Amino acid sequence: MLDAPPTPPHSVAASSGAKNAHLKGRKRFTADFADLKAQGLEKGGLAVTKIQKGDDEGMLDLVVVDRTKNDARVVACNIIISDTSEYPKHHTMLTYSEDADLPERVASALSALESAPAMPIGEALERLLTSLSGAKPAATKAATKPLGKGKSFATNNTASDEELESDEGSEAYDGYFSDNDYAIPSNSQARTTAAAAKERVTARIQRDFVEVVSSSYRPGLIPFTSGKWDPATDFAVSVSFATVLLTSTIPAQALVAWDRRLLASSKARYLVLLISGFNSGAGSSVHNVYPPLTAEGQYVRKGMQLRFQVGVCSTYKPSREHAVEAGRTFGLVGKDAEDEIREAKEKAAKLREAQLAEWGSLDPDGEGHGEDGSLGDFGGAEFGEDAVEDGVQEDEEGRFERFSLSSSLEALLDSQLVRLIGLRRQYGVGWAGAEMMVERVEREQRAEAEVWTVYRQDILTADADEARLARGGTLPDDPLRALPKGDDINLPHVAFCYLVRRLTLCTRYCLVCHNKLSAEFEALKPYVCDRPLCTYQYYAHNRGASLEYEIIHNPETVDLLLSLTYSAAAEGVVDEPLPVGMALRVPPPDKSRITTAPQSNMHAYHQPAAPAPAPANVNYVIGNDGLIDFDTLPVEHMRASIAGLIDTLPSIDDMKRHLERKVKPGKSKPRLKEMENGTVLPAAWSILRWCVASCTAYLEEMSSEEQCIQGLDPAWRQFRFSVGAPDAEAKFQKAQQKSTATDPNAKKYPSLYAFHGSALRNWHSIIRHGLWFKIVTNGRAYGDGVYLAKEAQTSMSHYAASGRVCWRKSKLGPTSCMALAEVVNLPQQFVSSQPHYVIKDTEWIMCRYLLVKGLEAPQGDASRKKKKDRAAIPFVKLDPAQSTTLMGKALQVPQPGHQIAQLVDERTQELVDEDHDETDAYIFADRAPPPAEVIDVSDDDEPMPMPAAKGKGKGKGASLGPPKDDWKHDAAYVQRTMQMLMPPPLDSSPSATMAVQRELKAMLKEQDKAMVSPGGLKELGWYMPPELVGDNLFQWIVEMHSFDETLPIAKDLKREKVNSLIFEIRFGPTYPIGPPFFRIITPRFLPFMHGGGGHVTGGGSICMDLLTSDGWLPSYSISAVLMQIKLAISNLDPKPARLAQNWNLPYGVGEALAGFKRAAATHNWTVPDGFDKLVR
């Protein structure tokens, strides 16, 4: 790399500043850098060399050398422009150096650049060299007083040069500057600069948050330090959405099956995405970066890595403490709360024994003894459980709680999201196409460009397929779809939309490698692909259902799953999927357990198969640990090994008690492998996890009478049972609707209910694959299909054969199982309807209940919660010709969707619109558009100065209502202009609709308040006729009135008896990201070329940069924009606004469009995308 050439005598900053003055933003930065690199920079014996662009946008790498000492290096540093789009007037500058033992004077000089006001890079480097070389600008010396070690404070006194130079020579660095040669800007200046930087970051976050809100999501900012928020401190951004609202795109039944916390918790929950790590990467010890991505979708800082965390919360964002705790990677290993309780009680008992030994008795009445004469709990609550800090409770306010899919979703976001965004921005593809590109790049180890060339058509097809799915309303908005090239990326919005998309489609993707599944059967719960590595990570890294959560909150289901697996393994029928690829190390299986599957025949229910002879001996390869590799075993030996490992596990109740031990925050939670003093093999715990996580059906024991089948033998436990794809319910409902439209009897009785019984050993497979008929277990005397019985006793006594073995530690002790399924009522189309139903189309069948009979009968109906009278329970209206019976008596089945619908209603009613906390209220605070840069239609690039607002008259007392001379609305005058309106806009979007609705509500509310205030409408300055608020929200009529009576335009309006200026405001589908369009309908203004002013174009549109893509911000309110327009019209410089001679001729649509485009071209403003379509 060549050093920069010597600097010419004149100032680089001055020459490049004049040359590039017409540019701004990234173009200005690029031009200034090119000039600096070409001309170089030298000052006071120091020179900038080896200057080049860094790895990130806006970064410069450079070296400062001392020319007087053979180019000895002074410092190598990076200078970062925070946002090049704000360069050179409104950016902030960050500095960083990796030099070891950086002298304090050099560090102070670099820090001074950060607190200095925004300036071009050439000027900034000149200041840096001036500070390092010891040059002393007079203005700086007069403003500061040295304190030594580079510190100074502001002073009102002007020090002489002799005073400032008196300490030179002390502690000099290499002889070319001393401690007092450099002065830091005053504290007030630093505070002003820091406040400006904070406001810029806040405005950008506000802009992103407004866009998030427009999609009905809830953003939040969480500082990691107490006190008022400061962008310099670490923080996290959250985006949330009430989980009950997910039911509009995801079936409620599927949400409950994936994780009860999503819908069936004690109260409403929010799905929360936490984004942190804005201070990661180079220089991360000093600075946060927001926004974190460039317009191309790359990190703005080298080495930056955001962290994404997914969970649920009872509030719209977690509390600060829980957000910090959520990011904790490790916990302290120490005594838990119950250990401390036990030790405290033991200590108290010893103390009491010592007292008794000394005094004989604590008191004459024996107080303090237990009822049984024991010592009791000395000290009461001091040593009781209440004295120990409880663990975090489930309903604790602001708690961030991970759920079963959190690990998989977080891994996906961490590893692929930014990469996917980059691919989408580079190739213009959708999410599906970008995901396919990543999968092909990883699998084939090809470059991205090569994959795009080879698989372009496949990628586009994937996007087209997803677009068709999105049109059905099942997928969230895609913020990147219509985002123009070069526009900034709203990462929180994009990330959360992608999260909701992947959650919606989670059953179609592998939970580990995140690639699309190609399995024939789609499960109700998400699962993994058939790659061994994915299987291993799924179970080893707990990527599936949370085993610990299921044991605590659904122990009966875990007990049942483990028992069914044990029965299938012990009787030799466990089949795919087997727990292979999990790196299990197991003991050699007990040969007495090894058996083969019994032969299937239709009388198997009363002829239990005897164990088949064991296969030939297998030579096991036993390792030094005395264990063998499970994957090397024959299938029969695998089954025996599974049964043996399950036998070594403790009971589910014991596991639940262990996991529920109280733990203080920050301590590691109890783990299952710690049970039994660690004697249970890791393979046994892995088998337990496999039993639970491989179950892709939904099982939950019914706990209330309103949920249970009425008339069934109470010896049978009832579980809610759903199996199949998440959209299986929708397909069933569609088939049912089709039947009701074509069959009169089906219209009256849409459903039938029937039983399916099978041997206990088969249910391990049924709950994973559903009721299919690939394997014949009881014969097919009436044809191929799923066999269902009308009479429960048929299934109970003939097909639900009892198991030969049972897991000895099971609390349920299941011996028989059968399912109750809902069926489309078209028996004439079944394969057979007598004596049993035989149904070939499995989409006509929905499992509703799994009935389990155990060794011990439950405690009867009295144990169930009785929430409602039986008369209030909605039951299915069954066809009397096809009744569902038990011993000839008709059964009553509750409506299958009643419980889920009731649950959704409860969660919906619990939703409250939470107020913003102090931090978010600050972010969302109204920020009126700055009064800068309102420009008339001329070739002059200089902005017009704006007069200060006129003050109100003094001496007027407050009144209870508007003034008597308040402005009055003339409805007839406005109505005469309605024929000049453009047709209302046709394009809209959900986000724009919500934003316009909010703005309309705010406008009318502000107007209503003004009408009863002392200032009245006259002080407000505008009026929106409520009678003209039509059905189309995207077209408004607003009057502007009550100008300062001294203005020429006010005199013209009074002379011609014009009551107001009538505006049309039109909103596009991109609002509030894109600006609305303002135009005057009437009266007509004098054009600029004829001596007019007021920033009104010749066609009646408004000439202001804040109404273009360059100046508009989503945080601008319409009322504030109207005030800015009124100030611009009132501006007398360079010429005042006046009415034209033909003032009563309304402006036409075409001239308004032409005038706006002409003004934008004159000032190099960007016309908003879709503008032509908006105004035609």
Distance, in Å, from the CA atom of 829 to the CA atom of 753, rounded to the nearest integer, reads 16
**pLDDT tens readout for residues 643-678:** 999 999 999 999 999 988 876 655 667 888 888 778
Q: Which residue has the higher pLDDT, 378 or 46?
A: 46
Mean pLDDT of 1074-1095: 87
SS3 1156: helix
The answer to whether 281 touches 299, Cβ cutoff 8 Å, is yes
- Taking 50 as the threshold, does the pLDDT of residue 958 lie above it? no
At 774-800, the pLDDT tens digits run: 444 444 567 788 888 888 888 877 777
393 has a pLDDT exceeding 50: no
Give the highest mean pLDDT range of 224-233, 304-313, 572-581. 304-313
> What does the pLDDT average to over 159-178?
36
Distance CA 801, CA 778 (A): 11
Q: Please name the residues in contact with 140: beta carbons below 8 A apart, sequence gap of 6 or more.
A: 183
For residues 189 and 112, is the Cβ–Cβ distance under 8 A? no
Closest among 89, 140, 108, 51 to 943, alpha carbons compared = 89
- Cα dihedral 444, 449, 454, 460, rounded to 10, equals 110
Confidence of residue 932 (pLDDT cuts 50, 70, 90): very low
Calculate mean pLDDT across residues 266-284: 80
> β-strand 716-722 against 786-788: which pairing, if any?
unpaired
pLDDT of residue 383: 30
507-511, 963-967, 991-995: least confident range: 991-995
797 backbone dihedrals φ, ψ, rounded to 5°:
-95, -20
699-894 placed in CATH 3.90.228: yes
Residue 81 has a pLDDT of 85
Banded pLDDT at 196 (limits 50, 70, 90): low
Measured CA to CA, the distance from residue 507 to residue 526 in angstroms comes to 4
Q: Is the pTM above the cut of 0.75? A: no
Cα angle 298, 299, 300; round to 5: 110
Mean of the pLDDT values across residues 802-809? 84
pLDDT tens digits, 143-152: 333 333 333 3
Write down the pLDDT at residue 772: 59
Q: Which of 974, 953, 756, 746 is nearest to 849 (CA)?
A: 756
Per the CATH hierarchy, to which homologous superfamily does domain 929-951+962-1174 belong?
Ubiquitin Conjugating Enzyme (3.10.110.10)
DSSP 401: B
Under 8 Å between Cβ of 74 and 132: yes
DSSP character string of 262-294? GTSSSS--EEEEEEE-TT-STTTTT---SS-B-
Cα gap 293→484, rounded to integer Å: 15
Catalogue the E-assigned strands of 509-587: 585-586
> Cβ-count burial of 631 within 10 angstroms (0-12 exposed, 13-18 middle, 19+ buried)?
middle
Name the pLDDT band for 207 (thresholds 50, 70, 90).
Answer: confident
Asked if pLDDT for residue 771 goes beyond 60, the answer is: yes
Structure confidence at residue 78 as a pLDDT band (50, 70, 90): confident
How long, in residues, is the chain?
1176
Mean pLDDT, rounded, for 578-596: 84
Domain map of the chain by residue range? 12-185, 545-598+613-695, 699-894, 929-951+962-1174
- Picking from 701, 728, 308, the residue whose alpha carbon sits closest to that of residue 507 is 728
